[in-house]
Amino acid sequence: MKPAPSVAVAIIAVRDDDAGLRLDRWFRRHYPAVPHGRLEKLLRTGQVRLDGRRAQAGDRLAPGQQIRIPPLPSVETVPTAPRIEDEEAAAALVRSVVYKDDELIALNKPQGLAVQGGSRTRLHVDGLLDTLRFGSAERPRLVHRLDKDTSGLLLVARSAPAAARLAEAFRNRQTLKEYWAVVVGVPRVTRGTIDLALSKAGGAAFGREAMTVDEAGDRAVTDYEVADCAGKRAALLVLRPLTGRTHQLRVHCASLGTPILGDGKYGGDNAFIDAADIARRLHLHAARLELPRPGRDRLRLFAPPPPHFRATVQALGLEMPRDARAGSR
């Protein structure tokens, strides 16, 4: 069933393969042309409802629930199950699988591939998930997100119950996430904790989904340590976020005076090293992830950094953490 035409009020039943999605993510999947700000206004004014009641962006969906969609005359609709229109990208996604079992699939997401779609994003992981069924009748579900320009571990649940368990583990901070970042400069303190609240930045100069340090914002905490440094020119940091705010690691690294290499959004011109063998791309990689499994040992996952990251590390004479070659288990 497709979402109803957008010229009148429609009532859409949540399908089994959308179970566990947040309501705002459901909209991004099925009505990608609806801007986030517009959706928030529709929710504030009660025009979008869930089973007849006022809904919130973070409401988790269950099969059979009824979503009221108000008239959206300027918005195009898309099929409930996104079509795989780029077979090459779908094949690349299959090759990016670093771990698979009966509950979940772990991907080493390439840099530059968005996790979910939008009005200007047609190629994304969510739209390619049908290629990761591996014989299952259920369509896999996203559990969490990575920024488009961040590479590394991305989990996909293979069933609605698995999605609920994994989402709860992330929500209750039962997971351990480790990112690697090449930064320009070296932090004055080689190991510590960054505890700086963040909020959305205002004004067109910041662009879409930009964050800024704000005492009145949401608390954001990151543990960090310097794994290696190239004089005072650059360093390889190990980052362990204890909270999951938008662009948290990028803003926190910039707050140390050491922006992530390639992050012009938060570091400006200071985020680049002018050298032919160093890519002008974001050097932030989700390298490790640990999570609990009911009745099993904790799952420990590892994803090797992408080629441009490894090339920069080599060009700067840096060394990866000792167990960089460890696999998923």
Q: Give the active site residues.
A: 147
DSSP lists the bridge partners of residue 179 as 239, 286
**7 to 40, 55, 74, 92: CA distances (angstroms):** 19, 21, 8, 38
Question: Are the C-beta atoms of residues 26 and 62 closer than 8 Å to each other?
Answer: no
Number of Cβ within a 10 Å radius of residue 115: 20
Q: In sequence order, which residues have a C-beta less than 8 Å from that of residue 135 and are 6 or more positions away?
A: none
Nearest to 73 by CA among 33, 37, 44: 33
Question: Are the C-beta atoms of residues 39 and 57 closer than 8 Å to each other?
Answer: yes
Question: Are the C-beta atoms of residues 107 and 92 closer than 8 Å to each other?
Answer: no
**Residue 149 identity:** D
The values of phi and psi at residue 88, to 5°, are -65, -45
**Residue 138 identity:** E
Q: How far apart are CA 280 and CA 266, in angstroms?
A: 14
